[in-house]
Amino acid sequence: MALHIGAHVDQEDPIAEATARGATLSQFFLGDPQSYKGPVVRYPGGAEALSAAAAAASIDLYVHAPYPINVASLNNRIRIPGRKLLQQHLIAAAQIGAKGLIVHAGHLGKDEDPATGFDNWRKCVDGLEMPAPLLIENTAGGENAMARRLEAIARLWDAIGQANGGDTVGFCLDTCHAFAGGNDLTTVVDRVRGITGRIDLVHANDSRDAFDSGADRHTNFGSGTLDGDQVVALVRAAAAPVVCETPGGVAGQRADIDWLRSRTG
């Protein structure tokens, strides 16, 4: 089966962006990725037009939630607006027919109790309406992160598994984040599946920085520190759609898509 692959692209016309890259999917933000402002569909004609255009072009859409969302936080001024924004994005993602909304799992401060952060995730999921699939992504940095190390992912999944709808929450595996977060790429697919039972999406990115560096800095394949054969093996093993979140615009991302596609058969 051909690899279902695309890239993270500008949000104005994700259909044209996919076509320019020879891709079958697009991931993008809805609105400002650094803001607590609600989602905005910038495609001409709005959500209904984007959903129809994607279906006509056989392009799958994925939405990446804004970066400030941290529903694990012990700070009410971060956690409560984050929950609200996450709910708004789930509704907007459903309106455009997205296959999933990807959100980072978040983190706590150095001296804060992670058990409370995991329970905050349970409470969040318990209160969410999920008209579109929610996919939690592993992150690269922070010793008190909710989904950097496999032990934390296991605690997170135990917590959300107790929530109403927790069994529907999916997982997005980022190769750069996994490597920089200190996880062995040769075993991470099996180990994540052993915890979550699923991998719904792969973010396939090379890493500018070293193993276990905690640095979230993506780069194009062949220009970073990841072993290309390990990335290819991971993508094959995950058997999930793939998003390249790499630099270089159309040319850089098309080269990365072609690189992966040629090696995965």
| pLDDT for 258 | 97
pLDDT in tens, 163-213: 999 999 999 999 999 999 999 999 999 999 999 999 999 999 999 999 999
Can you tell me the distance from the alpha carbon of 73 to that of 71, in angstroms, rounded to the nearest whole number? 5
CATH classification at residue 240: 3.20.20.150
Predicted pLDDT of residue 1: 56
Domain count, the chain: 1
What 3 state SS string does 94-137 have?
HHCCCCEEEEECCECCCCCCHHHHHHHHHHHHHHCCCCCCEEEE
Query: What is the C-alpha to C-alpha distance for residues 177 and 161, in angstroms, rounded to an integer?
Result: 23
Per-residue model confidence (pLDDT) at position 265: 81
Cα–Cα distance for residue pair 94/155, rounded to 1 Å? 28
Instruction: Please name the helix (run of DSSP H) or strand (run of DSSP E) that holds residue 156, with its range, or none.
Output: helix 150-160
CA atoms within 13 A on the CB side of 108: 19
In terms of Cβ atoms closer than 10 Å to its own Cβ (0-12, 13-18, 19+), residue 89 is buried
Name residues of the chain where pLDDT drops below 50. none
pLDDT at res. 168: 97
Residue range of the domain that includes 128: 5-264
Question: Which residues, other chains included, contact 198 with Cβ-Cβ below 8 Å and sequence gap of 6+?
Answer: 170, 171
Phi, psi of 142 (to 5 degrees): 90, 120
Give the pLDDT confidence score for residue 70 in this predicted structure. Answer: 98
d(CA 23, CA 25): 6
pLDDT value for 2 = 81
